[in-house]
Structure 1
Amino acid sequence: MMGKTLVLVTGMVTLLSACTMMDQPKSLAFRHNAVTADPQAAGTAQVTTRPDGMVTTTLVLTGLTPGKTYAAHYHAFGPDSSTDPCASNGPVSVGFPSFTADASGRATTSVSSEMARIAGDLGAYINVHYADDLKVVPVCAPIKMTKG
């Protein structure tokens, strides 16, 4: 009986640990793209899966152009690359609210979405764009490195 109780307690501890890990944010680093825009731009995406299955992503960025407005999006893998999601030119799967860098070039924005909209190939990377010219992408955060 003592052995069964120990196994049951160990199993419950493991299960509870797994549940609390769901709420732990995953931090993804942005990398600067090969463009001249915002050469000091950097930041992280904090991705937290909530118990209700929703995902909250918070972008914390530095080195942006002070006073400039930006747009950020989760993108699905596109047709241009199977090894570099940031170069794959994929469609938008989830958009963040537009945001403006403060006087020191810092900005923060968040979005919540259903896991299905950003899981797998649907959430292959996050791009930060100039809001007035979406072709300018200073930074990208790869979420998943290969298709499938």
Structure 2
Amino acid sequence: MIVQKSVLGLFTATLLGSCSMMMGQGTTYNFKHNPNAADPAAMGRAVATMDGSMVSTTLSLSGLTPGKAYIAHYHAFGPASSTDPCASSGPVTLGFPNFSADANGNASVTVKGDMTKIMGDMGAYINVHYASDPSVVPICAPVKMTKG
């Protein structure tokens, strides 16, 4: 009985330790180019890292228009699609700080927020817009692929 409890305790400690390491590494989402002519070389990734009830997401982007101002947001699934979150036109759930591409067209921006802003069908995708014209969305990163 004592041996079983010791083994169970060791297993639980190992399992919890590996979970905290996974939480520290984060989950990576790759951006895809939207079907428009804006920033044709744009690409990047989003890395979301959980810490308790909070999430920190860092966007690392390249191929943007040098010196141009951008905005980025997490969006919930919208009514337009159940299979492509980037085409679903969902509401904003968490906004990133405004940012600009550097002289080489690169940018990095981080947002921290409550997990409830991206749980379930919230945070189904992250998109990057022109700050001067939010209807222009060069790239999008699907975070959740199906509704529900």
Distance 2:110 2:50 in 1: 13
Report the secondary structure of 2:25's partner residue: coil
Seq. identity, %:
56
Structure 2 regions of 5+ residues with no counterpart? none
Distance 1:115 1:140 in 2: 20
The two structures have a TM-score, normalised by structure 2, of 0.95
Q: How many residues align?
A: 147
Structure-to-structure mapping, 1:1-148, within 5 angstroms: 1-51=2-52, 53-148=53-148
Deviates more, 1:21-30 or 1:53-62: 21-30
Deviation at 1:74, TM superposition (A): 0.5
Residue type of the partner of 1:102? D
Report the secondary structure of 1:2's partner residue: helix
Distance 1:32 1:40 in 2: 8
- Deviation per residue, 1:47-99 (Å, 9 max, x gap): 00013x11000100000000100010001101100000000001111111111
Distance 2:19 2:26 in 1: 13
Distance 1:110 1:8 in 2: 37
Residue type of the partner of 2:64? L
Deviation at 1:111, TM superposition (A): 0.5
